[in-house]
Each structure stands twice: as structure tokens, then as C-alpha cells.
Amino acid sequence: MAWQGQSGEVERWWRFVALLSVAVVLSLAYGMTLVPGVTWAHQGSDSGDLLTAVATGGIPHPPGYPTYLLLVETFLRIPLGSMALRQAIFSAACAIFAALGIVVITIQLSPMHRRWHASLIAGMLAALWLGFTPLFWSQAIIVEIYSLHMLFCVVLWGWTIWLVQRGATASWSWNERLAGLSAGLALGNHLTVGAVVVAMLVIAGWTWRTEQWLRRMGALVLWISLGLLVYLILPLRAGASPASWGDPQSIEGLLWLVSGQIYHHFAFQVAPLELLERAQVWAQTLIAQFGTPGLVLGLWGLLGVPMQAGMVRKAMLLVALSISVFAVGYGSTDASIYMLPVYLMLAIGLGQGIAWIIDQLTGQPLKIGIAVLLLSLILVTQAYPSSLFIRAANRDAEAHHFITAVLTQAPTGAIIMTSNDRDSFALWYYHLGLGERPDLILVAKPLLPYVWYQANLRAYYPTLQLPVNLPSGWDAALIAHNPDRPVCWTRPAQSPLLHCPPKP
């Protein structure tokens, strides 16, 4: 991506120092708060599913996250401790690179007349501001896909800005191919990045209003399609364990998995009164994440500050609006996590707002120093409560307490019936991924109606007797078909955590 402004040795040196400083600060913060394993804190219950998929060579919950699997399994080749630790480090690394992307984009968008030091200082502050928001920080330290999602969002916005600045007259290059490939791979990690991909396509099409428009757009779409081929690794991983989701070896099964059909009922199913409450929570969350000064500066930077590639400003606002509407209308309890791309765009606006202030004070070093000091103090006042929140959440050992209790108390050879994602995913990793208590049979009750899950259970537990074509009544049927095995039910929110009634 092209740097804007001067290209002298001094400027390049300070850019390197700025990027290194941001990376070191965030590395220390994330390294000291890393959660290497299964956790229910930080909306991290999916960590068990992702850990299990990597450990067993299977498929995590829809849409299967093939890009995450491909990249994290490559990263795991680096000898950095246990597999769980390396997956957590991968999240932190993606978050750090996403924050560094804010520095790059701040400089990319700076008008040519703006002094380079203004954009550089602003980019550093904006990157740290984003890096220390509680939600971004929380996803950077657990095994999850959202740090990679943020990295892809930054990369796609960077490519989009580059395409606009390059203009319609420039010849087709490998950078356009990489932009398309990045978009396809991004869609292989999280489908909500589609809003950014659409923005990139629209902006590219508008920029390339030439005789070669059709050829260039066709080539860009072709490279996006090549990136989407990453989904073809899912059929190769099917049936690796009972925790491997779906049956992507058929077209119908692959579409079911990739489309996330099992979660469609969450989309825009919020009652009107609850919708109003969620919209209020959305506004309060923005303030809680960035603070009032950060939010005001971010909005001002996106709405009013002069920048290069002004078309990108409009695209960011529309993408932020569409993602916000989706997050507010999504009926799951963790829908707030879908707001992360909006926070990223606010950080980009924040960088532009701070850069404008510093640029206006050029020639007045004392005032620049005071402004930077005040902004740094505001950043610290935001980061300190975030650190307290993160550390408090990290002390939550509920998941490990639950796992230990179930694996310790379960009778020999028992069938353990789990009731939801939290208890299923956590136990999957320890039983299927780490091989603990191989005598047990784990059965995720909500998945029993699916034929692919029944097939996985039969293949992995050949001694388990499962009824065929049973619409309901699985508890009684399992007891009746497996008279020699104790049957227990997990109860994560009750005591005891594992209920094993005596057989009649």
C-alpha cells in the first residue's frame, strides 16, 4: 500500500518507529492478559469449538471458517508452546496487525498538504485507542475468529483506498489480484465482511469508468471467486469427530454449512420494543468503548475532516450503518460483537480528526505537545478501566470449574448429555481434542435431530446405540437403547453441575 506524503529517510524511519511502538505496547498488554484455552469470559464460549476443530481436523460451527482454519493451522507450525496457547497468540497477532493497519490508513487518507508528522502521531493514537477498547481487547486475547475478521476489514479498506488513489488510467497489476483474493479469503472467515467487499466492488467500479471497465471488474470478481475456493477444504475435514459440523461432502450439505442456516432464525427477529432497547444499548456501547471524546473525534473525522479518497468516507458510513442495523436486529445475546467493524471505522475517523487538529497547530510545537499530551491522557483514562475489566473477566474460571467437575464426577462409561454450545464446546475440547476420559460418550442434545451428527456419533462411538428416525424423546431412547451405560445431564447454571440419576 502506498504511503502518502514525503518519502525521505527521516519520514520512513519515524514510520517504522511508530509502527514498532504500537506493536510493542499492544503486545505487552495482550501478552499479559492472554487466555490460552477454553473460556466463557469475553463472549468466548466458541473457543472450545475452534480448539476442537483444529485439534481433531474437523469443522467448527457454521459457516465453518475455512480461512481461519487454514491460517491458524499454518501458524501452529511455529513452536510457541501448547496448541491452545498458539491459537490465542494468533488472535493477538491478528489484532496487533489490524491496529497497525489503522496507522497505515490514517496516512493513506491524509490530504497531500497535511504534514506527515500529524498523520503519523494521529495514526498511533487512533491505533492504540482501538487496541484498548474493551471489546477489541477481549477478542485479541482469546481463541476466536474476530481478530482475524478485523485484520481482513483493515486490509480491504486499505486496498479500497489504494484502488481509488491509483485511479482509472493505471494499468491492471498484481495488487488488484491480491485485493480480490483478500476479499475472497475474508469471506471465508466471516460473512459479515461482505458489506466491506460490496463497498470495495462499488468503489472500484465507479473508479474504473473506462473502456476496460468490464474486463477489470470481471478480473476482480474472478480473484474474489478464487479466494472463495477456500471453502473447498471443508469437505476434506467432514466427519473427523462428533464435533465436526455438517455434511459438506454434498452440495446441499455444503450450502447448509456455509450459509449458516442453523442461525437464520436470529436475523431480524427482535421484537419492536426490544429493538428500541437494543438501539439504545448500541449507542451506550459506542460511548463505553471509545469514551465521549473518542466518539466525537471519530464521528467528526468520518463526517467533516478533509481526506483523500472522499468516496471511501461515504462507503464507510454506509457500511457502518448496515452493520449496525444487522447487529441491533440480530437476536442472539452476543450480537454486540458484530459491531467490531464499526469500531474499526470509528478508529479510522479518529485518526483523521486527531491529524487535523495537530496539522492546524503546525509551527506551534508547545501547543502540539499539549494537544498530544491531553489526547494521550484521555487514551489512558480509557485504557485503564478496560484493563481492569479484562483482568476481572480473566479471573472467571467458570468454564474450567465446570469441565473439571464433569470429568471428575462422571461415572465410568457414562453418556454425557450436553444442553447448549457452552457446555458442549468446552467438553468437546477436553474429551475429543485432548483425549481426556476416553471412556465417556459426549452427546450434544440440540444436535441429535441432524442426520450428519448422528452419523458422526455412530462413527466415533461404535458401541453407542442410537435410534433411527426419532423426531423427539432422545433422552428416554438413549437410556432404553444403552441399558449398560449410565446417562448424565450437564447443568452449567445449577448445582450439581452434572446430574446422574440412577436407572430404574
Position 104 pLDDT exceeds 80: yes
What are the φ and ψ backbone dihedral angles of 490, each rounded to 5 degrees?
-80, 145
* 477 closest CA partner among 450, 502, 445: 445
pLDDT at 2: 43
Task: Give all strands of the β-sheet with 498-499 in edge-to-edge order.
Answer: 441-444, 415-418, 487-490, 498-499
What is the pLDDT averaged over residues 317-332?
A: 90
pLDDT at 3: 42
- Is 209 within 8 Å of 24 (Cβ atoms)? no
Residue in this structure with the C-alpha cell 458489506, named with its chain if needed = 195
Beta bridge partners, 498, equal 490
pLDDT at 504: 66
Cis bond leading into 365, ω under 30°?
no
What is the helix (H) or strand (E) element at residue 415, kind and residue range? strand 415-418
**Tell me, what amino acid is at 453?**
Y
What are the φ and ψ backbone dihedral angles of 53, each rounded to 5 degrees?
-60, -40
pLDDT band per the 50, 70, 90 thresholds, residue 12: confident
Question: Which of 126-135, 320-329, 390-399 comes out lowest in average pLDDT?
Answer: 390-399
Position 5 pLDDT exceeds 50: no
- Distance CA(141)–CA(159), nearest Å, equals 27
- Distance CA(169)–CA(167), nearest Å, equals 6
Higher pLDDT, 393 or 139: 139
- Over residues 474-487, the pLDDT tens digits come to 888 888 899 999 99
Q: The whole model's pTM is what?
A: 0.93
- The three cell numbers of residue 380 are 489512558
Q: Is 193 exposed, middle or buried (0-12, 13-18, 19+ CB in 10 A)?
A: buried
Higher pLDDT, 87 or 303: 87
Please work out, in degrees rounded to the nearest 5, the angle formed at the alpha carbon of residue 90 by the alpha carbons of 336 and 261. 45
Q: How far is CA 241 from CA 56, 78, 91, 246, 484, in A?
A: 7, 25, 25, 11, 23
- The three cell numbers of residue 468 are 433411527
Strands 487-490 and 498-499: antiparallel
Higher pLDDT, 167 or 409: 409
Number of H helices, E strands in the chain: 20, 4
What are the φ and ψ backbone dihedral angles of 369, each rounded to 5 degrees?
-60, -45
Cis bond leading into 63, ω under 30°?
yes
pLDDT band per the 50, 70, 90 thresholds, residue 135: very high
Q: Where does 425-467 show beta strands of DSSP type E?
A: 441-444
Position 76 pLDDT exceeds 90: yes
- List all residues 6 or more positions away from 191 whose beta carbon is below 8 Å from its beta carbon: 63, 260
* 407 closest CA partner among 431, 381, 376: 431
What is the pLDDT averaged over residues 201-222?
A: 84
Q: How far is CA 470 from CA 206, 236, 448, 463, in A?
A: 55, 29, 9, 19
- Over residues 267-283, the pLDDT tens digits come to 877 777 777 888 888 88
- Distance CA(463)–CA(417), nearest Å, equals 16
- List all residues 6 or more positions away from 268 whose beta carbon is below 8 Å from its beta carbon: 329, 330, 331
- Over residues 337-392, the pLDDT tens digits come to 999 999 999 999 999 999 888 888 877 878 778 878 888 888 887 777 778 778 77
Q: Is 221 exposed, middle or buried (0-12, 13-18, 19+ CB in 10 A)?
A: middle
Q: How many CB atoms lie within 10 A of CB 343?
A: 21
**Tell me, what amino acid is at 301?**
G
Cα 100 to chain centroid, rounded: 17
- Is 95 within 8 Å of 152 (Cβ atoms)? no
